Amino acid sequence: MSTLLYTHAACLAHDPGPHHPERPDRLRAIQGALETEAFQLLERREAPRAEKAQIARVHDAAYVDWLFAQIPEEGFAGLDADTIVSPGSGEAALRAAGAVCAAVDAVIGGEAQNAFCAVRPPGHHAEPGHAMGFCLFNNVAIGAAQARAVHGLKRVAVVDFDVHHGNGTQAAFTADPDFFYASTHQWPLYPGTGQPFERGVANNILNVPLAPFSGSTEFRAAVERQVVPALDAFAPELLIISAGFDAHLRDPLASLNLVEADYAWVTRQLAAVAERHAKGRIVSSLEGGYDLRALANSVAAHVDVLMAG
């Protein structure tokens, strides 16, 4: 079965302003990497807009209304020091969340084995009532909720290998024993959450902080000894990946030392978990990654493994 690629031109029109690391060129770099011959078998689909009802499974209605009221007609508006919106941001956020919902529908519907969503803004810092850390809607949490509400899946797991802790996904999942969230991340680092004692209502949260300057050895040990066994115990029916690539050696925002081969490796581990429990079903969605060359090459390594699955 094939791998789907969801993206949309609107995701390029979310502009957080000059000198912001989460810039449209990130997506252009990824699209360039995925246009090469090695990826000609990717099945490309345009991301639909998420519907309000899909977003409302995770986010407070008052927050959604407030967010759209902040979108400026021109120029920029700051939601916090890091999270800046422009006239195109509302449409981009709808397409980003819609991509993950559509990918969930297609993968559970048997149209493809797995899917990668090349979208921005990212989502894993967005809490149910709160934008932060470049994130507006929590795309992966909205996708997990779609899998349960529309397709009747009982257990959905999100694995997050972005260098930052996904506080928003943790907040959305922590009281819900049928959703599992596992994160490897640098600590200490923004946003400051993600310590091992944050376990969720039913041990359904697994945080594995990594010290600054950790590299392949520490990352792979964390995945092998903690993340994979916890996923095997939870036995998800769908695996969603918060695919951030800012733990790369070249990334300017953090101090972990992963390389492309680590992203291929972790994708193989997660594909094996999905094979054991979830009929191989994976939906992966872009989070961070701020060095354009490292980002493009790491996404290529990740998607290459998805296509092999």
Residues 276-305 that bind Zn ion (CB under 5 A): 288
Amino acid at 218: E
84-85 and 156-160 strand pairing: unpaired
Selected from 127, 176, 237, 246, the binder of Zn ion by CB under 5 A is 246
- The window from 54-62, 110-118, 191-199, 237-245 that contacts Zn ion (CB under 5 A) reads 237-245
Nearest to 283 by CA among 306, 260, 262, 308: 306
x-or-dash string of contact with Zn ion, 137-166, rule CB under 5 A: -------------------------x-x--
What SS3 class is residue 2?
Answer: coil
Radius of gyration of the chain (CA): 17
Which C-beta is closer to Zn ion: that of 148 or that of 164? 164
CA distance 275 to 281: 7
Taking the complex as a whole, how short is the minimal distance between the CB of residue 44 and Zn ion, in angstroms? 26
Catalytic hit among 14, 59, 124, 125: 125
Taking the complex as a whole, how short is the minimal distance between the CB of residue 267 and Zn ion, in angstroms? 17
CA distance 65 to 76: 18
What SS3 class is residue 51?
Answer: coil
Q: Residue 244 interacts with Zn ion (CB under 5 A)? A: yes
Which C-beta is closer to Zn ion: that of 181 or that of 234? 181
Q: Residue 168 interacts with Zn ion (CB under 5 A)? A: no
CA distance 246 to 264: 15
Q: Residue 262 interacts with Zn ion (CB under 5 A)? A: no
Tell me which residue has its CB nearest to Zn ion: 288
Which C-beta is closer to Zn ion: that of 14 or that of 148? 14
Which position has the token pair 């993206």? 7
14 is known as an active-site residue: no
Q: Residue 121 interacts with Zn ion (CB under 5 A)? A: no
Which C-beta is closer to Zn ion: that of 42 or that of 222? 222
Taking the complex as a whole, how short is the minimal distance between the CB of residue 186 and Zn ion, in angstroms? 9
Taking the complex as a whole, how short is the minimal distance between the CB of residue 154 and Zn ion, in angstroms? 30
Taking the complex as a whole, how short is the minimal distance between the CB of residue 127 and Zn ion, in angstroms? 15
Contacts 24+ apart (CB under 8 A), 207-212: 207/165, 207/170, 207/182, 207/183, 208/182, 208/183, 208/184, 209/165, 209/184, 209/185, 210/184, 210/185, 210/186, 210/256, 211/186, 211/187, 212/186, 212/188, 212/254, 212/255, 212/256
CA distance 278 to 274: 5
Binding region for Zn ion (CB under 5 A): 162, 164, 244, 246, 288
Tell me which residues are annotated as active site: 125
